[in-house]
């Protein structure tokens, strides 16, 4: 045998071993071929998708075909073909007049390949461009029946869903962890048609009337001259707008709070924001607000961590969601309703329910659980599903109707209109991810990208030629019927009701409901963002706004900016809503990332800890000086001192001492970000040498006790006691 072959075989064997250790086989998953170092020489059939991945459903839960293709038409077939299906024998060389000659115009494959590539990108969403999606299932509890007749809320009814999370301001390639509002859009493929709940992780909005949407977005997007900064609100135009447009104050307060930098999509609340009108089987109506409550609790990053992550792992939230689903840690949210009477005034406890800058505190109208959402499958293809999904608030089902909130009303126009350019035509509902699972019979015809081959000759009503089909549904056939509500006697005006003028009571309510630690973070966020503005007048004007929210908030931000504190404003007394704080509760530690700096001298101890972490539903990541297998222990380093950074982990365990400065940095960052730290063996010396002792740092000889204490600390997410807040 030639020596080269022996070396190659040995390398292949080693690669296979490491691959198996890093990616242990998933029970029940179809066996996949081991990766090879050389290019395959024989054609083979399509590869199956990974067990956590599927495309849009091809049949509804009751067996109705959804029209989605059975298996994606992909590049996994045996032979490469043209788009017309003709087999090709070469795709690496253009057709030329001789090897050194010019390329011939007749080369159809060259022209088709480049033509298609030139048009692979479509316009990104004008807002919410950066997003990530997942498939799942929603199961109704049946508890909403007294207020809402929607079938999907019925007891035990299972409805397939697709959820897309997003940031608002950044471009499609921007970082996940920037300070911003997060989109939380859910498409329920119900048996009565699609219902889209297009919400955010913040329950209020910047504007009360949709006509101002271009203004707030132009202000938040990068400056038009230099197109900077990307995916940020920390710049002059944003603060110029919100400091002069005070109805934005409530939303701004939420953005500057920890809600603006979620730890994960899995640990965010979601809100439908607007008030909806619900109808029950007896035709009675109620007003309601939708809430998503995460089973893992509401958790956030700290600001420095968010900034580091934007560079270290710009895909942090995407990766987190996909990994969690792949590993079987399926994230869940309970859907809840706040129910308010449908009074002629459409107010509740003095709160105008048509004003999207106002919340209804949960203490006044408790959130009543009506169903459970589980995200359990990753998309098969990002573009086909996550990019092409199109949400629209007008996708309503019997039992759920709109209200006259002027923001809601403008949105009803925008979401259809925007798809015409983004998805190039009016037939975007025929894209597999958007196809309803209920039968569709719409008489819409032709247009760009028409997929259907419609039969019949009479796409109009009334007709006799197609037997009068399709017929309109009668009351017993469960049609969607707009609620017939008397309109107030009115004149045409361009103005808002007087109740919309109160811009400060609820921001104050939010501020006063936060704990001192959370208030500290709000002060820092305002100080940071305004500190990035160049125009002095903008900072001073925002301080005037803050003076109307709270004197301490205003004074602390002014101190940070080095500016005089404006005169005290007359402030309303508010009753805090403890439900608005995200601290003070204990949550499951499922799916948390635990970094473990290994001790090469005590790999048995590391193995035990790793197994306990896994058994606890958390994810252990072993960090060692170099990659690859750790001795003969059967363990493999998933991170090295070069590739690991503290921000990836929710808690850090240090099993071994190491003179490496990157380990010291890892410990110090985890400490600074109020994370739980545990150490045993020689690792204790490493933590002490980094100067990181105090609350939330567990040092003990018994590794299992260290892990147990760290897991308990994770229940509260962070160890805030480490840094007493500056604000009482
Ligand atoms: Fe919007 C996208 C949420 C106000 C116009 N919006 C979009 C998405 C979310 C929201 C989550 C991303 C959907 C996806 O993942 O595809 N938007 C909101 C919320 C609002 C809101 C919670 C206030 C309560 N939006 C709003 C207004 C307008 C729009 C007032 C226009 C008048 N939004 C759009 C849009 C987008 C969109 C331009 C861009 C891409 C798309 O619709 O499909 O139509």
Using the mean position of ligand 1's atoms as its centre, give its distance from the Cα of residue 393 in Å.
9
Checking if the pLDDT of 23 tops 80, the result is no
User: Three-state DSSP class for 137?
Assistant: strand
Rg of the chain in Å (alpha carbons): 28
Ligand 1 pocket, 186 CB below 6 A?
no
pLDDT at 77: 75
Whether pLDDT at 8 is above 60: no
pLDDT at 220: 98
Q: Which residues have C-beta within 8 Å of that of residue 335, sequence separation ≥ 6?
A: 138, 290, 291, 292, 369, 370, 371, 372, 373
Q: How confident is the model at residue 488 (pLDDT cuts 50, 70, 90)?
A: confident
Residue 16's pLDDT is 57
> How confident is residue 6, by pLDDT bands cut at 50, 70 and 90?
low
Tens digits of residue pLDDT in 523-552: 999 999 999 999 999 999 999 999 999 999
- Is residue 200 part of the annotated active site? The answer reads yes
CA of 183 to the centre of ligand 1 (A): 8
> According to the model, what pLDDT value does residue 52 have?
87
Q: Place 20 in a pLDDT band, splitting at 50, 70 and 90.
A: low
Neighbours of 214 (CB within 10 A): 10
pTM for the whole structure = 0.94
* Average pLDDT rounded to a whole number, residues 498-514: 97
What is the rounded average pLDDT for all residues in the chain?
93
pLDDT at 518 over 50: yes
pLDDT(12) > 70: no
Would the pLDDT of 609 be above 90? yes
**Cα maximum dimension of the chain:** 96
Looking at residue 362, what is its pLDDT? 98
Q: What does DSSP say about strands 593-597 and 635-637: parallel, antiparallel, or unpaired? A: unpaired
Q: Ligand 1, atom 5: nearest CA belongs to which residue? A: 414
Taking 60 as the threshold, does the pLDDT of residue 30 lie above it? no
Say whether pLDDT at 18 is over 60. Answer: no
What pLDDT does residue 43 have? 79
Average pLDDT over residues 150-160: 98
**Position 21 pLDDT exceeds 60:** no
**Best CA proximity match to 233, nearest among 252, 249, 257, 212:** 252
pLDDT at 1: 42
- pLDDT at site 104: 97
pLDDT in tens, 640-684: 999 999 999 999 999 988 889 999 999 999 999 999 999 999 999
Mutate to test the pocket of ligand 1, among 166, 186, 198 (most ligand atoms within 8 A of CB): 198
User: CA dist 217 to 207, 344, 485, Å?
Assistant: 11, 33, 33
Predicted local distance difference test score (pLDDT) of residue 145: 98
In this model, does residue 212 exceed pLDDT 80? yes
Q: Write down the catalytic residue from 200, 378, 395, 434.
A: 200
Ligand 1 centroid–CA 698 distance in Å is 45
Distance 264 CA to ligand 1 centre (A): 21
* Span 299-321, average pLDDT: 98
How confident is the model over 587-600, as a mean pLDDT? 92
Ligand 1 contact, 299 CB (< 6 A) = no
- Looking at per-residue pLDDT, the higher value among 49 and 402 belongs to 402
Once rounded to an integer, what is the mean pLDDT over residues 563-589?
A: 95
For residue 230, give every residue at least 6 positions away whose Cβ sits within 8 Å of its Cβ, in sequence order, or none: 170, 171, 174, 222
pLDDT at 10: 58
- When pLDDT is averaged across residues 346-370 and rounded to a whole number, the result is 98
Cα(280)–Cα(262) distance, rounded to whole angstroms? 36
Q: How confident is the model at residue 27 (pLDDT cuts 50, 70, 90)?
A: very low
- Give mean pLDDT, residues 107-114: 95
At residue 3, the pLDDT reads 45
Ligand 1 close to Cβ of residue 395 (< 6 A): no
């Amino acid at each position: 045998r030639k020596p080269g072959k022996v070396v190659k075989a040995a390398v292949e064997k080693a690669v296979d071993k490491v691959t198996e250790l890093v990616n242990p086989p998933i029970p029940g998953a179809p066996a996949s071929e081991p990766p090879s170092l050389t290019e395959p020489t024989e054609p083979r059939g399509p590869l199956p998708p990974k067990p956590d991945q599927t495309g849009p459903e091809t049949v509804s839960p009751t067996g109705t075909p959804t029209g989605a293709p059975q298996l994606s038409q992909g590049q996994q077939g045996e032979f490469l073909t043209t788009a017309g299906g003709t087999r090709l024998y070469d795709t690496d060389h253009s057709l030329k007049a001789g090897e050194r000659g010019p390329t011939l115009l007749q080369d159809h494959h060259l022209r088709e390949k480049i033509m298609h590539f030139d048009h692979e990108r479509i316009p990104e969403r004008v807002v919410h461009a950066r997003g990530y999606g997942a498939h799942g299932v929603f199961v109704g509890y049946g508890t909403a029946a007294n207020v809402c007749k929607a079938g999907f809320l019925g007891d035990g009814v299972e409805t397939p869903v697709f959820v897309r999370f997003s940031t608002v301001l950044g471009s499609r390639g921007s970082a996940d962890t920037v300070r911003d509002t997060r989109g939380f859009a859910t498409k329920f493929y119900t048996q009565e048609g699609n219902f889209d709940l297009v919400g955010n992780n913040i329950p209020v909005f910047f504007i009360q009337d949709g006509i101002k949407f271009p203004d707030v977005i132009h202000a938040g997007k990068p400056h038009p001259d230099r197109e900077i900064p990307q995916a940020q609100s920390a710049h002059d135009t944003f603060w110029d707008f919100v400091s002069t447009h005070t109805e934005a104050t409530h939303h701004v307060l939420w953005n500057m709070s920890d809600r603006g930098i979620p730890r994960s999509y899995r640990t965010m609340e979601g809100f439908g924001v607007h008030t909806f009108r619900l109808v029950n089987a007896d035709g009675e109506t109620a007003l309601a607000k939708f809430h998503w409550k995460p089973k893992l609790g509401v958790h956030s990053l700290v600001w420095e961590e968010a900034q580091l992550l934007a560079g270290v792992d710009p895909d942090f939230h995407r990766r987190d969601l996909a990994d969690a689903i792949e590993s079987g840690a399926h994230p869940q949210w309970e859907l809840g309703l706040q129910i308010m009477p449908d009074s002629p005034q459409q107010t509740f406890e003095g709160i105008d329910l048509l004003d999207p800058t106002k919340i209804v505190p949960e203490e006044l109208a408790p959130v009543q659980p009506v169903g459970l959402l589980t995200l359990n499958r990753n998309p098969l293809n990002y573009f086909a599903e996550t990019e092409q999904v199109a949400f629209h608030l007008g996708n309503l089902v019997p039992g759920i109707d709109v209200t006259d909130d002027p923001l809601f009303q403008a949105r009803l126009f925008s979401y259809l209109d925007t798809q015409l350019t983004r998805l190039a035509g009016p037939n975007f509902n025929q894209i597999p991810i958007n196809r309803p699972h209920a039968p569709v019979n719409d008489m819409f015809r032709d247009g760009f990208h028409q997929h259907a081959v419609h039969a019949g000759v009479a796409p109009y009503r009334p007709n006799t030629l197609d037997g009068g089909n399709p017929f309109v549904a009668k009351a017993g056939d469960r049609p969607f019927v707009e609620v017939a509500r008397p309109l107030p006697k009115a004149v045409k005006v361009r103005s808002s009701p007087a109740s919309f003028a109160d811009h400060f009571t609820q921001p104050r309510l939010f501020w006063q409901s936060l704990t001192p630690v959370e208030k500290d973070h709000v002060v820092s966020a305002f100080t940071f963002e305004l500190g990035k503005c160049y125009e002095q007048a903008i900072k001073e004007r925002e301080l005037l706004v803050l003076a109307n929210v709270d004197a301490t908030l205003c004074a602390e931000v002014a101190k940070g900016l080095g500016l005089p504190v404006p005169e005290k404003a007359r402030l309303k007394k508010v009753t805090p809503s403890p439900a608005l704080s995200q601290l003070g509760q204990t949550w499951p530690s499922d799916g948390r990332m635990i970094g473990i700096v290994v001790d090469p001298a005590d790999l048995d101890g590391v193995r035990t800890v790793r197994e306990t972490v896994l058994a606890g539903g958390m994810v252990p990541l072993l960090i060692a000086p170099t990659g690859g297998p750790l001795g003969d222990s059967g363990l493999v380093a998933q991170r090295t001192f070069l590739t690991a950074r503290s921000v990836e982990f929710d808690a850090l365990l240090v099993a071994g001492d190491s003179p490496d400065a990157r380990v010291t940095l890892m410990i110090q960052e985890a400490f600074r970000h109020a994370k739980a730290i545990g150490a045993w063996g020689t690792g204790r010396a490493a933590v002490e040498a980094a100067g990181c002792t105090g609350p939330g740092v567990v040092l003990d000889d018994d590794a299992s006790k260290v892990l147990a204490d760290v897991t308990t600390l994770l229940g509260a997410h962070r160890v805030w006691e480490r840094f007493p807040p500056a604000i009482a």
